[in-house]
Structure 1
Amino acid sequence: MISEKVHTKRATVVGGARSGRAVARLLAEAGGKVFLTEQDAPSGGTEAALNAAGIEYEFGGHTADALDADFLVLSPGVPTQATIVQRALRAGLAVYSEIEAASWFCDAPIVAITGTNGKTTTTSLTGHVLRTAFADAPGREVIVAGNIGYPFSDCVLDAEPTDVVVLEVSSFQLDHVDTFRPRVSVVLNITPDHLGRYDHDFGAYAQAKHNIFCNQGEGDVVVYNRDDGDVRGAAEQAAVEQGVRPMAITRKEVPAAGAGLRDDRIVLRTDEEDDPLMPQNELALRGRHNVYNSLAAAVSARVMEVENDVIRESLSGFEGVPHRLEEVCTVDGVLYVNDSKATNVNAVWYALESFDRPIVLIAGGRDKGNDYTDLKPLVRDQVRAVVALGESAETVIRELGAEADVHHRADTMEAAVRQARHAAQPADVVLLSPACSSFDMYENYEDRGDTFRRLVETML
């Protein structure tokens, strides 16, 4: 299969960022004739690395050479609307995503996780559960990769059939899948995000998410959030041959063959028998949204035949994900929390819901057309002060400022942290949860969160 798809074939990789470079190396190693095209200038050392791998390339634009190929592979940052992609499609060339191309080389079972919010946490948590389970199984590894920051293409050749690959998969990576088939697919939630990529068509964005289970069949499992109507309808309609494992927390009954809550206890259900797992308050992660994330990890682990005691130990001992409700430290009785990864309104809603004490909220950045309406009741009830930061500061103040007791505008993160410290009272939470991307001031959300953490730690 691999030799037919890649060996001696001409493959053009569009996009020279991390995933693009990784899949170019993978295809070249498999015997393909690879050409990488990137519209921007190369970063330091990129050309030397491509030369060493025998990969031809162009930077600064896409020429006709890019279409001299048997197929194209897109780096996740390259949209279908890009001119080079449209030209390829009109020419009848096959177009694949990076995650699709990497999957051609994977003999290990895949647990693939998507959703608008929570996918990084759930991917990390699922990997943690499986690694705990495999700790006493020499030679059996768990590989955690994908949108979480480690390209699938960089690690797929290391995966043995006895290993398990846990992938965080974004909608961008699920565009242009063809044969990608996880053993377990997980869909956490779908809410409006990245709609500019999909011509502001929520249905197209949702369909990209649904592609995660489009190739699954007999023996595979779909884990999905039954409380999310957009997820439920698509999963239940598509999952004819696949096993279905719903999860829900809004009803008293535990879903058949799935997971839910009863009397504040997490319950797994298989073969119409309840299997109590643990009290909800023993979960390591706070917040209602993390109950869903924990349920998804638990069900996925059970499908992979992990025992309940291992799942219980893992869910109670997990230390969390950097930049996602990350507790930095407590200063003068105020807890400082880094939630820089909250780049949309729904993520901020989950963050605000996670605390039962007053909050000083730092929000703002590069706005993605946010509608802050759903946040207003939570801000009104829980937020003592709003500190607005970045390009969208005026929008944040206009939409949310009146809901809090006070509001401030800050031009830098240093000023935002200083104003938040002044506004906070003992036992409050200072929460960086921006609802926006970081690209107005920072290279990425990690850079933004690291800056916040560093500034807070200088207070100690």
Structure 2
Amino acid sequence: MNTKTQNNNSGKRLVILGGGESGAGTAILGVKEGFEVFVSDKGKIKEKYKSVFEELKIDWEEEQHTEAKILNAEVVMKSPGIPETVSIVKQLVAKGIPVISEIEFAAAFTSAKIIGITGSNGKTTTTKFVHHILKSAGIKAGMAGNVGDSFAKQVAETTPDWFVLELSSFQLDGIKDFRPDISVLTNITPDHLDRYEHKLENYVFSKFRIAENQTEKDFFIYDLDNEIITRWLEKNPVKAQKLPFSLQQKVENGSYIENQNIIVNIKNNQFNMPTTKLGLQGKHNTKNAMAAATVSQLLRIRKETIRESMESFQGVEHRLEKVLKINNVQYINDSKATNVNATFYALESMESETIWIVGGVDKGNVYDDLLPLVNEKVKAIICLGVDNQKLMQNFGNCVDTMVETQSMKEAVRMAYSLAEKGNSVLLSPACASFDLFENYEDRGRQFKEAVRNL
């Protein structure tokens, strides 16, 4: 458990790199805890965050990093979007100034217990799932990290008993003492390798940092079916008590499937529920549900409450979200699929002939795993990106129709003209969105708007 830091921070210089959600939240908490705060952003800062800095009466700058104002910091909070390789960060590290993430900074100022959730896919759904169950059980719980208001802002303004945190590998890269009471690792597939020298082991190491400070009193929940995870654990044991979940094998402590029932067993205390009753269907969602149910069992939440919560949970915007049915064609928004593995789950869950909208900024994708699914389920491919060459090379022989488009409106109109009764139109890009959109949310909203305007 994280205990509130007792040392006096009055007048200590806190420099915040990045004036977005985590930067603004850290500024609020920093001022509250007596730090002298300075915010610096290489890009433009959104008006809503500028007004926060003005209200706090702190010094800030945009479109530049003034070295003299940064290199005199006693501690630096770096936003997750800024790579460690940028010049100013390298200079700070060379001077021995601690560069930490918002998660590390804020955890020191809360006495709430923490559930930390990471993974290449499923972390948002699992985070919202766990939070939904805790709320239904009447537990005072905050949800932060990659979702909702920033963790630091919530630490400054609220006092929950538990925090459920969705953590990216970038946020975990900036921790030193951060220690969740319960950690969840949903899965690991190659992603963001451009930030990890294109080495999978660097990325895996980052994900496992979620458990590095855990002790024998803590719990580590993970996907036993994921080879990357199990191979890593063989060589790098974790101290926390391990609670695996698996679709393929029975486990003594943890969660497994038997006769289409989810079974969670922790020290002979058993919970079960038919998979058919889950509000979210699909193998990957069953795993997310198993992880959430394992957390809930650890917290000794009433079994009836867990069952009801798992039946009522409806998932996450931009993740296999059914938008509309037009002329008996189902349009599905899976914009959150920013890597190949997420798109694999999406295609696997398709039960009708599919027109697949794909493309964006490729993070070193290998598309081989998708080929059997594309051959089986996809009748046409619509590329949506600035550079679609790799997609054309990989899938050109799989389908009769493959077209390139440069806007969401154009992609959706093309899908509409190609779709026949009973088909599905699936936006599942397998790529980042930054070439044509602000982020995956913007991409998903543009898709939904284009569908509604058909």
TM-score (structure 2 length as normaliser): 0.95
1:40-59 mapped onto 2 (5 Å cutoff): 40-44=43-47, 46-59=49-62
Compare 54-63 and 325-334 and name the one that shifted more: 54-63
Shift of 1:210: 0.6
Amino acid at match of 2:105: A
Q: Which runs of 5+ in 2 are unaligned?
A: none
Check the 8 A contact 2:20/2:49 in 1, yes or no. no
Shift of 1:394: 3.1
Partner of 1:444: 439
Partner of 2:146: 147
Task: Measure the CA separation in 2 of the matches of 1:23 and 1:213.
Answer: 23
Tell me whether 1:90 sits opposite 2:76 in the alignment.
no
Amino acid at match of 1:385: A
Of 395, 399, 405 in structure 2, the residue corresponding to residue 410 of structure 1 is 405
Partner of 1:247: 245
CA deviations 1:422-455 (Å, max 9, x no partner) are 2222222110001111111111111111111112
1:86-165 mapped onto 2 (5 Å cutoff): 86-134=90-138, 140-160=139-159, 163-165=161-163
CA deviations 1:147-185 (Å, max 9, x no partner) are 124211111134436x22111000010012111111110
Shift of 1:235: 4.7
Of 351, 354, 361 in structure 2, the residue corresponding to residue 356 of structure 1 is 351
Question: Aligned pair in 2 of structure 1 residues 48, 415: CA closer, same or farther (>3 Å)?
Answer: closer
Question: Aligned pair in 2 of structure 1 residues 48, 330: CA closer, same or farther (>3 Å)?
Answer: closer
Partner of 2:5: 2
Of 258, 265, 272 in structure 1, the residue corresponding to residue 261 of structure 2 is 265
SS in 1 for 2:11: coil
Partner of 1:311: 306
Task: Measure the CA separation in 2 of the matches of 1:400 and 1:353.
Answer: 17
Task: Measure the CA separation in 2 of the matches of 1:384 and 1:241.
Answer: 49
Partner of 2:39: 36
Check the 8 A contact 2:127/2:166 in 1, yes or no. yes
Check the 8 A contact 1:14/1:75 in 2, yes or no. yes
The number of aligned residues is 450
Question: Aligned pair in 2 of structure 1 residues 401, 440: CA closer, same or farther (>3 Å)?
Answer: same
CA deviations 1:101-144 (Å, max 9, x no partner) are 0111121111110000110111111111111111xxxxx42211
Amino acid at match of 1:108: A
Amino acid at match of 1:49: V
Partner of 2:220: 222
Shift of 1:234: 4.0
Q: Which runs of 5+ in 1 are unaligned?
A: 135-139
SS in 2 for 1:402: coil
Task: Measure the CA separation in 1 of the matches of 2:253 and 2:265.
Answer: 5
Seq. identity, %:
39
Task: Measure the CA separation in 2 of the matches of 1:249 and 1:40.
Answer: 45
Check the 8 A contact 1:222/1:239 in 2, yes or no. no
Cα RMSD after superposing both structures? 1.8
Question: Aligned pair in 2 of structure 1 residues 25, 192: CA closer, same or farther (>3 Å)?
Answer: same
Amino acid at match of 2:362: D
Check the 8 A contact 1:265/1:276 in 2, yes or no. no
Task: Measure the CA separation in 2 of the matches of 1:269 and 1:457.
Answer: 45
Shift of 1:381: 0.6
Task: Measure the CA separation in 2 of the matches of 1:127 and 1:91.
Answer: 40
Task: Measure the CA separation in 2 of the matches of 1:47 and 1:316.
Answer: 42
Task: Measure the CA separation in 1 of the matches of 2:447 and 2:382.
Answer: 13
Shift of 1:223: 0.4
Tell me whether 1:12 sits opposite 2:15 in the alignment.
yes
SS in 2 for 1:403: coil
Question: Aligned pair in 2 of structure 1 residues 401, 150: CA closer, same or farther (>3 Å)?
Answer: farther
Partner of 1:278: 273
